[in-house]
Amino acid sequence: MRTFPLHLLLSLGALLALGGYASRLGFLPGAWVGAGLGLYALLVLWGLRFGGRHALLGLGLSAYWFPPMAFLVPLLYALLFGRALREKEQAALYGWALVWPALALLLVWHVFPTFYAFYLSLFERVNFLRPAAFAGLENYRILLHDPLFWKALGNTLWYVLFTVPVGLFLATGVAILLNTQVAFLGFYRTLYFLPYITALTAAAAVWRWIYHPEFGFLNWLLGTPGLDWLNTPKGVFALLLEPLGVRPQGFWAGPSLAFVAIMAMSVWHFLGYQVVVLLAGLQAIPKEYYEAAELDGASFWQKHRLITWPLLSPTTFFLFTLGLIGAFQVFTQVYVLTPTGGVLQDTLTLAFYLYNKGFRDSDFSYASAIAMVTFLLILVLTLIQRRVLERRVNYEI
């Protein structure tokens, strides 16, 4: 007997167990589970070539009545007869069995919701209270003509363009400073990391007070009493250029002052995490490189341009990729600071719009369409980023 069919049966059995329960709860068509059981039966027939006792695996077909059987039968078979396998095959089989719980979590919380969201997006106004009619790609057609969707997409793009590069730039500067021999270094590292370990909801609630137009700390500090940071819909470019007589309109007026206030809070919150990761990258660079550069008379900027930036590129690439993905999913700070999406929806983002359609309007099919478009945007941008930027990353020190 080879482990190959048993691996497949364990994988398929776990999926069938999850799919069986999802089908009973109405989240998955029963035909999908039936097709899975058909494939399971074919694998059992194929496995019979290696011995008659493989027929015991046919008991997994009872998963139609009791879903866990599809996974339990191959697992028990492996435990009972696994010793008959060669040592290398046993190691592969048991190793796979240990990895499976983590894979199951990924399948349950990431892979399955993705496919299920796409499934929901193909129906008319799913709200789980009554059957919905199949609508094909109608939700996507409506989405393309929805001005609020374009508003949310524009705001999200502003958020990505501002928070990702600015956050990375500030974190790099702070990490370089902390990498030098300064007094109370541990205190400064703790100080920068504290915001990140603070719950985002609690931090946003504190920033609501900071931005308060009458009692806020920021207006007191800047001497701008009465300035309503979180309810000013005017674009920052328009505000800055108005004294010069220039009045940009629409997208070119820039993100609203309210949204810039939220972006500033986000940069502050995630700065500590980026600093710690960059600091680890900086300390992995051999000091001999800097010493050799100093002997050659290199200046401060030459050392960082020719040594630090190239050798730190894997770390910055990692942070840039995570930052891009996280920025497209911004929700919590927007929801806490501007629960209604701001004046004229000027702080509406894709994740916030998805939440509004799904949980306030109970239109889960349209919300799923927004989720799928957001997923595709992140996927495409991540692939482009890898193709363009990864060539410049230097993995050798």
CB 74 within 8 A of CB 17: no
Alpha-carbon gap, residue 135 to 120, rounded angstroms:
10
Alpha-carbon gap, residue 195 to 41, rounded angstroms:
54
Q: What digits encode the pLDDT tens for the residues 236-257?
A: 998 888 888 888 887 788 899 9
Alpha-carbon gap, residue 248 to 9, rounded angstroms:
62
Six-digit token pair at 393?
């990353």
What integer pLDDT is reported at residue 388 of this predicted model? 85
Nearest to 77 by CA among 86, 85, 65: 85
What integer pLDDT is reported at residue 128 of this predicted model? 66
CB 78 within 8 A of CB 6: yes
Q: Looking up tokens 């946003």, which residue turns up?
A: 204
Please name the amino acid found at residue 62: S
Alpha-carbon gap, residue 166 to 170, rounded angstroms:
6
Comparing 3-12, 185-194, 210-219, the range with the smallest average pLDDT is 3-12
- At residue 235, what are phi and psi to the nearest 5 degrees? -65, 145
Please name the amino acid found at residue 27: F
- Higher pLDDT, residue 95 or 223: 223
What integer pLDDT is reported at residue 106 of this predicted model? 82
For the chain, what is the mean pLDDT? 87
Quick one: average pLDDT of 366-387?
92
Cβ neighbours around 98 below 10 Å, total = 8
Would you mind telling me the total number of residues written for the chain in this entry? 397
- Please report, for residues 188, 190, 298, the alpha-carbon distance to residue 180 in angstroms, rounded to integers and kept in the order given: 12, 16, 17
What's the angle, vertex CA 151, arms to CA 149 and CA 152, rounded to 5?
A: 65
Nearest to 256 by CA among 163, 158, 376, 397: 158
Quick one: average pLDDT of 114-132?
81
Nearest to 303 by CA among 281, 287, 280: 287
Res. 129: pLDDT tops 70: no
- Please report, for residues 19, 102, 105, 190, the alpha-carbon distance to residue 99 in angstroms, rounded to integers and kept in the order given: 20, 6, 11, 35
Quick one: average pLDDT of 288-296?
89
Please name the amino acid found at residue 388: V
Q: Who's near 33: CB < 8 A, 6+ residues apart?
A: 16, 19, 20, 23, 64
What integer pLDDT is reported at residue 387 of this predicted model? 85
What integer pLDDT is reported at residue 161 of this predicted model? 93
What integer pLDDT is reported at residue 274 of this predicted model? 93
Quick one: average pLDDT of 333-358?
92
Res. 343: pLDDT tops 90: no
Alpha-carbon gap, residue 392 to 36, rounded angstroms:
44
- At residue 134, what are phi and psi to the nearest 5 degrees? -70, 130
Nearest to 268 by CA among 191, 337, 326: 191
Alpha-carbon gap, residue 156 to 352, rounded angstroms:
10
Q: Who's near 227: CB < 8 A, 6+ residues apart?
A: 213, 219
What integer pLDDT is reported at residue 378 of this predicted model? 93
Res. 4: pLDDT tops 70: no
Cβ neighbours around 377 below 10 Å, total = 16
